[in-house]
Every structure is written in structure tokens, then in C-alpha cells.
Amino acid sequence: MRNIKYTLTALVLAATVTSAVAQQASSLQSIERKKMESLWFSNSNNAAGVQLDQMGRYSQLGINYNSTEGDFKRTQLGENNNGYGFSTDGGGVMDNLKGMFLWGYFDYSREKVRDAAFNASLIDPLRGTPFYIADQNLSNWIHQSYKLGMKGATPVMGDHWIVGLGLDYENAQGAKQMDPRPNVQMSKFVVTPSVVFKAGKHAVGANFEYFSRREDGTASNSISLTSQPVWEVVAPGFFKAGEIGSGTLSGLRDYNANSLGGGLQYSFSGDALTLLVEANYAFTVEDVNNNYTQPKIIGTTKENVWDASANLKWAMNDDNSLFAKLQYFNRSIDGIEYVQVWDSSHEVSEWIVMSKSVRSNFSTEQINLDLDYMNIGGSNAYSWLAGADVNYEKLEDIYYLPLSEQTVENLSFKLSLKKNFTFGENMILVGVNGGLKSNLDGSHTYTGINADSKIYTDMVLRDFNYLINDAYTLGGELSYTRQGVVGENSSLFVKATLDHSKATSCPAAYPFGSRTWLMVKAGLTF
């Protein structure tokens, strides 16, 4: 694993440094435009197809500060969070590598999460597994992570073939600051080989994807004389109560996931019209154990994900372009539970699985339509950028015995507008956005025996009421760019974004307020 990290780091540095040669003056807006116009790069995991984008080269790096505050959120997320980070990405077609495409990225972040509840196992409690340990203490977490990766593609070989490869690595740590306090470690490695066959204006592509993820940590008490009550959760509202520190429940959780998937692509590139259509499928299995040497299986999830998208770029004339994206996403997660007995009849004792069955399912269906209009204004950036977004989402959760169900159906709309003002070597971008979320349907039926428990009333019911809440969002963006500060093709930038979301249909039992996101970033493009 260490060699993988060193290799990825070298490739990232090669991509970001090499790309700084012989290119037009760069800015945040020119990079944003470049990525929007590069359909394969921005909308597909097929690295080989990026050669068809002809996106040129760019590099950027920056440091950022972010803050999130407010109670309009899922219960397991912190109410008052702040953090900082560093990021860089860049690359393009390398003339000194015979036209090979090479691009890389690196992201580092550190965040303090405050007043999070009902989680003593996971760095990201909303990532999709129903098996975790929950406690009732409002706790702070410290999260730290870094991600790095690359995309590479050969030049067109034999007038038709392109071969590509994507590599990604992520490492994260999460430390809870109140008993029971786990120190959770997570690592994930992804490899995505790909190929494209090009014939005139048409191209077809295929990619394969495999990832391995490991996340583990042990919830323990720093004050050994005091036990902490917890819940061993298998689904929302279904759990086994126990204590950390008394020996009634193991605080260790070891998550091991492996995933196989792939995708198919078709593209058409005309004089004014570019089309990319893609379909993907992935199958992921994750086992959850509570011991390294004598593991007892807590549960298994089997996840099926289908998604498809159609992406369109229409250059109406030299100064105006229209972008459209229609996307469909479907995820189904089966929760498998086990009946096990402890077998001590042999020299090495172990847990024996007597039976297993699918006890729960969690499904997500989304349909999204994005429309963007760009006025270029004679530069390599843009003058105006207007967007409209419509998103439909349906969530269906079921626990089969005793039968309990939850359904949430929402429709959301968002409008955005950006104007880029240019004054010689200076640019000021002003952006505004606004959106509405409307609940179409919501139902919750619980037939378990824990309706009066704190985790059910304060998390399960609260999260359901959050999901069905109508809300509005208002936001803005302001950035300043100065070109030519470090070199002729470089720019220095400072950027701030602010978004505010407020609930508009709160029940009396769950009076949600609002939530605000702030991000400030400064850096260089070249």
C-alpha cells in the first residue's frame, strides 16, 4: 500500500507541474469553462475518453477554510463544524510524452465536528451501512483525510484505439472526543482501466472498476470505571442494547468492502454538437465483524448501483453555448443478518454461522436534469453563466420482520447566475443562487418494540421529519482574480461562497431552524 501511495504522489506531481508549460492565461473561470466543455473528463470514469475532449492543460492549487452551522440537518451530523484544507489538481496532454494525457489531484482536509450524536463507529455515518454502534452523548469528532489520484491515457493508436487508467487512493481518520471514543481508520483504493474505440465523429468506450475499502476502530472508555450505554444498530429502530466497558458488547467494528463494476459509453462529436451517453453498474459487498482473531459477523450489506446519463454540449455560435445533463441513479442495499453459535469443541474456538437472511433493504432513486447557458464574451473564461437544476428523489427503507417501512419522495429546483467582470488584468465574479425543496410524499410505519427509546424518537423520527421537510436555499459567490502575478500565464485568486438553507414546514415536535455553509479559498492557477 505504501508503494501505491508513493506512485500516485509522483504521478500527481508530474501532472500538476508539467502542465504549467505553454498555455493560455489561466483563471478559476477558465478552468471551470474547460471542465464544463470536457464531457468525458467531467462526466465519465473512462480515462481513455478524455483524449477526445481536447481540453488542453491547466493547474491550480489552493488553501481553504470552511464552516457549517445550524440544526437543519441529519442527527448524526455535527451542528457546528469548521475546518481547513489544501488541494491541487492539474494536467493535460503532454507534448514531451508524445501526446499522452496525464492528470492528477491531491486533497487534504481537517475538520472539527461538534455536537454529533448516535455514532460511535463510522467516519461518515450516512455512507450506507445499517450496522454500527450508536451512543446518546453529544460528541465532538476530529476528522482528517487525504485523497490523491490520477487519470492517464495514451495517444490515439492505429487511428482508432485509446487506452486509459484511473487510480485513486483515500486515507481518513476520525477520532471521537467523548466516551465511548473510537479512533477510526479508513483506507480505500480504486483502479479503473478503460478503452475507447474511435471511428470518425463516433466513439465507443468501456471501463472496469474495482475498489477495496477498509474501515475499523474500537469504541472504548477513557474513564474505565464508568460504562457507557450504547445500541448495536442493525436498521433504523432495530438494535440490541448494551454497554461499552462492562463486557456486554464489543466496541470494535471492522468493515471490509470490495466492489466490482463497469461502464459503457458512446459519444458523437460534430462541429457544433457533442453528445456523451453512459451507463454504469457496480456491485459491492461489505462484511462487518467485531473481532480480529475470533470474528463474529455483525452483518453484511450487498449493494447494487445502476446509473445512466446523457450529456450534451451545443456551441450555438462563437460566443454562446448550451449544456444539458440528464441523469438517472438507482441504489439498492440489502442488509443481511446472521444467527451464530459459539463453538468451543475444537482446539480453536470460533463462531459458527447457523443461518443468514436478508432482513432489510434501503433504496434510493434519483432523476436529475441540469441546464446551463454560457456566454463566453470573447475570452478563454466566460462572461455569463446561468443554470437551472431539477432533481427528483425517492427513498424507500424496509425492515421485513417485524414489518416496518419508510418512504420519502422529494422534488427540488435550483436556479443560479454568475457574472464575470473583467478590468484589464483583474476579474471579479459575482454569483447568486436560490432553490426550493418540496416534499411530495412521506410515510413512516414502525412495528418494533423500541418506539419509546431515545434512539428511535431522537434520531429515527427526527431524521424522517428532516427528510420530509420543505425548505428553501439562498446562496452567493464572490471571487477576485489577478492575472500575471507570478508568471504570464498564472493568476492569484480569492474566493468566498455562502449558502443558507431554512426549513419551512416543521412539525411542533421537531422545530428545525436553518443551516449555513461558508467556504473561503485562496490560491493560484497556472
Q: How does DSSP assign 30-69, residue by residue?
A: HHHHHHHH-HHHHH-S-GGGGGGT---EEEEEEEEEEEEE
Q: Are 209 and 178 in contact (CB under 8 A)?
A: no
Per-residue pLDDT at 525: 95
Contacts of 229 (CB under 8 A, 6+ apart): 135, 136, 241, 242, 243
Question: What is the reported pLDDT for 7?
Answer: 47
Residues 6 or more apart in contact with residue 500 via CB below 8 angstroms: 473, 474, 475, 514, 515, 516, 517
What residue ranges in 344-470 does DSSP mark as E strands? 350-375, 384-399, 404-423, 426-445
pLDDT of 248: 74
Amino acid at 287: D
How, if at all, do strands 252-269 and 320-343 pair? unpaired
Can you tell me the distance from the alpha carbon of 38 to that of 101, in angstroms, rounded to the nearest whole number?
13
Half-sphere exposure of 86 (CA within 13 A, CB side): 2
Determine the straight-line distance between the first and last CA of the chain, rounded to whole angstroms: 32
> How far apart are the C-alpha atoms of 44 and 488, rounded to whole Å?
33
Helices (H), 362-469: 454-455, 461-467
Half-sphere exposure for 458 (CA within 13 Å, toward CB): 13
Note if the pTM is more than 0.85: yes
Sequence-separated (6 or more) residues with CB below 8 Å from residue 387: 370, 371, 372, 373, 414, 415, 416, 417
- Which of 457, 475, 465, 471 lies closest to 514 in space, CA to CA? 471
pLDDT per residue as tens, the chain (526 positions):
455 454 445 444 544 444 444 445 789 999 999 999 999 999 999 999 999 998 989 999 999 999 999 999 999 999 999 999 999 999 999 988 899 999 999 999 999 999 999 999 999 999 999 999 999 899 999 999 999 999 999 999 999 999 999 999 999 999 999 999 999 999 999 999 999 999 999 999 999 999 999 999 999 898 877 888 999 999 999 999 999 887 778 889 999 999 999 999 999 999 999 999 999 999 999 999 998 888 899 999 999 999 999 999 999 999 999 999 999 999 999 999 999 999 988 888 899 999 999 999 999 999 999 999 999 987 789 999 999 999 999 999 999 999 999 999 999 999 999 999 999 899 999 999 999 999 999 999 999 999 999 999 999 999 999 999 999 999 999 999 999 887 778 999 999 999 999 999 988 889 999 999 999 999 999 8
User: Which residues lie below 8 Å from residue 44, measured CB to CB, with a gap of 6+?
Assistant: 205, 207, 263, 265, 276, 278
In 96-184, where does DSSP find H-type helix? Answer: none
Max Cα distance, the chain (Å) = 83
Q: Which of 483, 498, 487, 488 is nearest to 29 (CA)?
A: 483
Q: Report residue 481 as a C-alpha cell.
A: 482574480
Measured from the Cβ of residue 46, the count of other Cβ atoms closer than 10 Å reads 33
What integer pLDDT is reported at residue 9 of this predicted model?
A: 52
Alpha-carbon torsion angle 91, 94, 100, 103, nearest 10: -10
Spatial CB neighbours of 437, under 8 Å, sequence gap ≥ 6? 410, 411, 412, 469, 470, 471, 472, 473
